[in-house]
């Protein structure tokens, strides 16, 4: 119904018309993006706050869209989901990320976990478990080195099905993270219903993080909740030392953000790994 609304103009509005045209050309471009090899992955390090070393990376999709330059997924993931293209794109991302992580592994970069974002559309596909299993086999990446990041919003649509799929994914040996934890209104239901491994504290809680703030109280509560449940906790969007200091005092397991590095191409990430920066 959403797709129909996009392509049919019900009443005249210049704005609506031009945005509709833009959407159609976005779709057309997106359709060609995989075969024209316009997608790449950038990698953002996850830093262990106990040791200061890089222990993993989140793979983030970028589209080298002709005439637009390097394009963030925020501008095209919705369309990709509505059109179903996300399935093909997501399979590409999974394969590319696992291939890269396996290569880093064989270069002897030590224990290293790659995190891949999974769209709810992909998650509810019949063959998602098979896709993940096959990708691991093909790329040779050990399952425990793959973490799938799921946003809260996606999981409660069908609790029984989600529970089953998560169970099957965990039987493969991969890890499951709840992304953007805390922004949804049902965060706690997820913890009650689903066996996950990791919580990623949404960056909206990290943004104003400083001692004595309300956000600090919330972050502290999430960290202690994660600890009681035996889950790993990762803070995202860490941009400054004030936020870092606060996280170190609680203590949070891992952090990710511009303070350590922006998402960067694979080659640059490899260099970063060799340098093993410490905070
Ligand atoms: P996300 O999973 O929450 O990813 C984190 C986003 O925060 C990334 O935006 C990252 O570049 C940005 N970020 C990282 N550190 C900082 C920081 O210190 N400050 C600020 N302000 N931002 C920071 P990006 O790469 O534009 O991705 C946006 C969203 O698009 C992601 O949010 C994720 O939901 C989605 N996405 C990205 N790659 C994929 C993918 O391969 N598949 C799917 N389904 N979704 C993806
Ligand atoms: Ca994510
Ligand atoms: Ca996130
Ligand atoms: Ca997000």
Contact 63, 38 (CB under 8 A): yes
Task: Give the predicted TM-score (pTM) of the model.
Answer: 0.92
Q: Which of ligand 1's atoms lies nearest the C-alpha of 202?
A: 3
User: Separation of 184 CA from ligand 2 center, angstroms?
Assistant: 15
Residues 99-148: tens digit of each pLDDT: 999 999 998 887 799 999 999 999 998 899 999 999 999 999 999 999 99
In this structure, what token pair is assigned to residue 236? 């995202």
Q: Is the pLDDT of residue 174 over 70?
A: yes
Q: Which residues does ligand 1 sit against, CB inside 6 Å?
A: 44, 60-61, 72-74, 77, 90, 93, 117, 119, 149, 179-180, 203, 236-239, 257-258, 263
Q: What's the chain's Rg over C-alpha atoms?
A: 19
The protein residue with its alpha carbon nearest to ligand 1, atom 3, reads 180
Ion ligand 3: residues, Cβ under 5 Å:
179-180
Measure the CA angle with vertex 127, ends 233 and 164; round to 5°: 55
H or E element that contains 242: helix 241-248
The answer to whether residue 14 scores a pLDDT higher than 70 is: no
- Which ligand is closest in space to the CA of residue 115? 2
- List the residue whose alpha carbon is closest to atom 8 of ligand 1: 60
Ligand 4 geometric centre to CA of 259 (Å):
18
The closest alpha carbon to 177, from 122, 256, 115, belongs to 115
48-73 pLDDT tens trace: 999 999 999 999 999 999 999 999 99
Nearest CA to ligand 1 atom 34: 117
- Does residue 88 or residue 7 have the better pLDDT? 88
Please tell me the distance from the alpha carbon of residue 183 to that of residue 202, in angstroms, as a whole number. 7
Name 145's Cβ contacts closer than 8 Å, sequence gap at least 6.
101, 105, 111, 112, 113, 114
Structure tokens at 41: 């992955």
Question: 80: which 2 tokens?
Answer: 């990709």
Of residues 248 and 22, the one with the higher pLDDT is 248
What is the Cα–Cα distance from 266 to 255, expressed in whole angstroms? 19
- Asked whether 239 and 258 are in contact (CB, 8 A), the reply is yes
**Residue 236 alpha carbon, nearest atom of ligand 1:** 15
CA of 237 from ligand 1 middle (Å) equals: 9
């Amino acid at each position: 119904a959403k797709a129909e609304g996009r392509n049919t103009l019900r009443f005249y509005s210049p704005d609506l018309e031009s945005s509709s045209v833009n959407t159609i050309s976005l779709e057309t471009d997106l359709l060609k993006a995989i075969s024209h090899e316009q997608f790449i992955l950038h990698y953002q390090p996850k830093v262990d706050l106990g040791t200061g070393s890089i222990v993993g990376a989140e793979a983030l999709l970028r589209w080298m869209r002709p005439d637009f330059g390097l394009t963030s997924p925020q501008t095209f993931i919705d369309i990709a989901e509505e059109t179903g293209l996300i399935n093909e794109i997501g399979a590409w991302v999974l394969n590319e990320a696992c291939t890269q992580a396996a290569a880093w592994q064989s270069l002897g970069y030590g224990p290293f976990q790659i995190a891949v974002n999974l769209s709810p559309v992909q998650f509810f596909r019949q063959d998602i478990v098979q896709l993940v299993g096959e990708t691991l086999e093909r790329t040779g990446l050990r399952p425990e080195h793959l973490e799938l990041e799921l946003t809260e919003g996606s999981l409660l649509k069908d609790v029984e099905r989600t529970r089953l799929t998560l169970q099957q994914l965990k039987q493969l040996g991969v890890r499951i993270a709840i992304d953007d934890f805390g922004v949804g209104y049902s965060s706690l239901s997820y913890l009650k219903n689903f066996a996950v491994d990791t919580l990623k504290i949404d960056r909206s809680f990290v943004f104003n993080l400083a001692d004595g703030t309300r956000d600090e109280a919330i972050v502290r509560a999430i960290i202690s909740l994660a600890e009681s449940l035996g889950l790993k906790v990762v803070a995202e969007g860490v941009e400054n030392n004030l936020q870092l200091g606060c996280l170190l005092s609680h203590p949070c397991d891992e952090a990710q953000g511009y303070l350590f590095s922006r998402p960067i191409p694979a080659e640059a990430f490899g260099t970063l790994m060799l340098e093993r920066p410490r905070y």
